[in-house]
Amino acid sequence: MKFLKKYKTSIIDIAILIFTILLTLHIENKFQTIDWINNSYWFYLSITILIVVILTGLKIYFEVKENNLIIENEKKHKELVLKSIKMKNENKYLQDLISSFKYQISKPLEDKLHDIYKKLNFNSNHRITIYTYTKGCFFSIARYSSNQNYTSFGRIAITSEDEFIFKVWNGENNCASLSDSKERKMPTKKICAHFLYEKNEVHPEKDKIGLVVFESTLKAPKQFNNGKFSEHVKDINSFINEHMEIKQDLKFAMQEDL
């Protein structure tokens, strides 16, 4: 059945050719030596003509049907292309909107990061970013670097559990050396992350809300070995709890309490 469906037009073409030849031979009396055909000349002639007409009709029907299918598929393809372009434009608009909104709400926090940046003697090879965790994703809410090439937010959210910050979140080493990657705008060589916690007078440092990430394009930045990150992270954490009061992701909080 699949064979007939796939090659039906070719089969009909062959059948039309065969019956057209038979019809021609019949009209030219090439079968007059065959008694049973010659005795019913008009009957067999009519049958042959009818078969040729039916086959021709079927050929036209299938060709029109296939042509309509091609037109329909082209129409659907154009609609999908237009929808894809529209979605890309909307996605770009939303990304720009979120980036602008992030910048608006994160300005006071970025001022705080600027102060920490200076205290750590960071330079254009460094960057500090604050991420909050919600709905299984990390969102960057503040970022500072004296190098303008490293200040843009880039991705709206980080969702891959292969990322460094996910590994730290799940209990792995909080410092690592990274290899080159074309996916990153900043060619980070050294990276460290420290937890941020929701304000909790009864159980301090219990409810994780995010991470402070320190990055450097240097393989062995001396600022990463002075043991001062924890002190400055506490300072950032106090600022967030005092001015922003970010709460722990509800789903994650429930998982931690199980």
- Tell me whether residue 87 is in a domain: no
In a shared domain, residues 144 and 250 = yes
In a shared domain, residues 41 and 126 = no
Helix (H) or strand (E) holding 210: strand 208-216
Q: Report the Cα 159 to chain-centroid distance in Å.
A: 11
Give mean pLDDT, residues 4-8.
67
Q: Per-residue pLDDT for 107 more than 60?
A: yes
- Tell me whether residue 114 is in a domain: no
In a shared domain, residues 49 and 175 = no
- Per-residue model confidence (pLDDT) at position 217: 93
In a shared domain, residues 146 and 208 = yes
Count of beta carbons in the 10 Å neighbourhood of residue 238: 12
- Per-residue model confidence (pLDDT) at position 145: 94
Final residue of a structural domain among 60, 81, 102: 81
- Tell me whether residue 160 is in a domain: yes
- Tell me whether residue 135 is in a domain: yes
Number of domains within the chain: 2
- Tell me whether residue 86 is in a domain: no
In a shared domain, residues 148 and 58 = no
Give mean pLDDT, residues 173-182.
85
Length of the chain: 258
- Per-residue model confidence (pLDDT) at position 253: 62
In a shared domain, residues 158 and 251 = yes
Final residue of a structural domain among 28, 60, 81: 81
pTM (predicted TM-score)? 0.63
Q: Per-residue pLDDT for 35 more than 70?
A: no
In a shared domain, residues 68 and 196 = no
- Per-residue model confidence (pLDDT) at position 233: 92
Q: Per-residue pLDDT for 208 more than 80?
A: yes
- Per-residue model confidence (pLDDT) at position 37: 65
- Per-residue model confidence (pLDDT) at position 36: 66
Give mean pLDDT, residues 4-29.
75
Which residue shows structure tokens 């609609």? 79
Q: pLDDT tier at 211 (50, 70, 90 boundaries)?
A: very high
Instruction: Convert the pLDDT of each residue in 128-147 to its tens digit.
Output: 999 999 888 998 888 999 99
In a shared domain, residues 128 and 197 = yes
Q: Per-residue pLDDT for 258 more than 60?
A: no
Count of beta carbons in the 10 Å neighbourhood of residue 143: 23
What CATH number should be reported for the domain holding residue 135? 3.30.450.40
- Cβ-contact 144, 155 below 8 angstroms: no
Q: Per-residue pLDDT for 30 more than 90?
A: no
Helix (H) or strand (E) holding 138: strand 137-144
- Per-residue model confidence (pLDDT) at position 112: 93
Instruction: Convert the pLDDT of each residue in 42-97 to its tens digit.
Output: 777 788 778 878 888 888 888 888 888 888 888 899 989 888 888 888 877 777 77
Which residue range forms the structural domain that includes residue 224? 120-257
- Tell me whether residue 97 is in a domain: no
- Tell me whether residue 67 is in a domain: yes
Final residue of a structural domain among 51, 81, 111: 81
Give mean pLDDT, residues 108-116.
91
- Tell me whether residue 23 is in a domain: yes
In a shared domain, residues 47 and 161 = no
Percentage of the chain with pLDDT > 70? 86
- Cβ-contact 215, 188 below 8 angstroms: yes
In a shared domain, residues 206 and 154 = yes
In a shared domain, residues 58 and 151 = no
Instruction: Convert the pLDDT of each residue in 195-207 to its tens digit.
Output: 999 887 777 777 8
Count of beta carbons in the 10 Å neighbourhood of residue 164: 21
Q: Give the type of residue at 75.
A: K
- Per-residue model confidence (pLDDT) at position 15: 77
Per-chain mean pLDDT for the chain = 83
In a shared domain, residues 75 and 150 = no
